[in-house]
Amino acid sequence: MFVAVARAATLAAFLVGAYYGFNHSAVDMVADVLSLSIAFKCCVIGNIVFWTMTLLCAGLDTMPRDSGIGKAIADSKIQGVYFTLGEWIDTACVAVLNLVVIAPLVCVGYEKLWETGLGGLYVRLHEDDPVDPKRELANLLGMVVIVNVWFYWSHRLIHHRWFYNTIHKIHHRWQAPCAHAAVYAHPVEFVASNIASIALGPLLTNAHPYVTPHTSRTPLR
């Protein structure tokens, strides 16, 4: 059922993307991205990086085993298990559901919450505000703590028997590490653990938008 929903979401995303692509030039697309808020920009950049690296790694994984690079990659894979085409498609569909459909929807609520300064606790900084190096260094250190503490404890929680069987077990379908399975997760886990661990840092510290994208680089795991 879960994968079927992901397949339907992928088809819908493809149709919407195709319609947008046919009706906009490359210049218009770049202009549209630049006009987005920092949260949505991070979402777009995250998708570009994820899909680029995923396709690159999938290409390396599927290289002929009789080639030099292909044999070296096969020998370095501890499990010796590779994905089938069907598994790759299913995993890609789940990635589309999480990254292309759900993540932007979360950004809408996140932007509204950030814009209000968590209900008036602070005045949000914007891209045209000056950057205070000392303040932002402290914010960056604070985000390192927040992202790692939140991810660690949320991950511990979803390994509780009920959460594991209901939510987290989906992520453990994959027995061998592969790039495209990084976001193969139940949407609840993706939002509450993956996205939240990155998004809470800037939200709680009111980091400058130019520092915010570096949150994704702060996990120590």
| Residue 61 near residue 82 (C-beta atoms within 8 A) | yes
Half-sphere exposure of 165 (CA within 13 A, CB side): 2
Residue 172 and residue 88 in contact, taking contact as beta carbons nearer than 8 Å: no
- Kindly report whether the global pTM for this prediction surpasses the value 0.85: no
| Calpha distance 7→92 (Å, rounded) | 9
Q: What pLDDT tens digit does each residue of the chain (221 aa) get?
A: 778 888 888 888 888 888 888 888 888 887 877 777 777 888 888 888 899 988 888 887 777 777 777 777 777 776 666 677 788 888 889 999 999 999 988 888 888 888 888 888 888 888 888 989 999 899 989 998 999 999 999 999 999 999 999 999 988 887 776 787 888 999 999 999 999 988 888 889 988 888 876 665 544 44
Confidence (pLDDT) at 174: 79
Q: Which residue is listed with tokens 């292309």?
A: 100
Q: How much is the pLDDT for 157? A: 94
CB 43 within 8 A of CB 101: no
CB contact at 8 A, 211 and 131? yes
* Segments of the chain assigned E as strands: none
CB of 187 within 8 A of CB of 54? no
The confidence score (pLDDT) of residue 216 equals 54
Counting beta carbons within 10 angstroms of the beta carbon of residue 199, is it exposed (0 to 12), middle (13 to 18) or buried (19 or more)?
buried
Predicted confidence at residue 21, as pLDDT, reads: 83
Q: Of 182, 220, 216, 183, give the one whose Cα is nearest residue 200.
A: 216
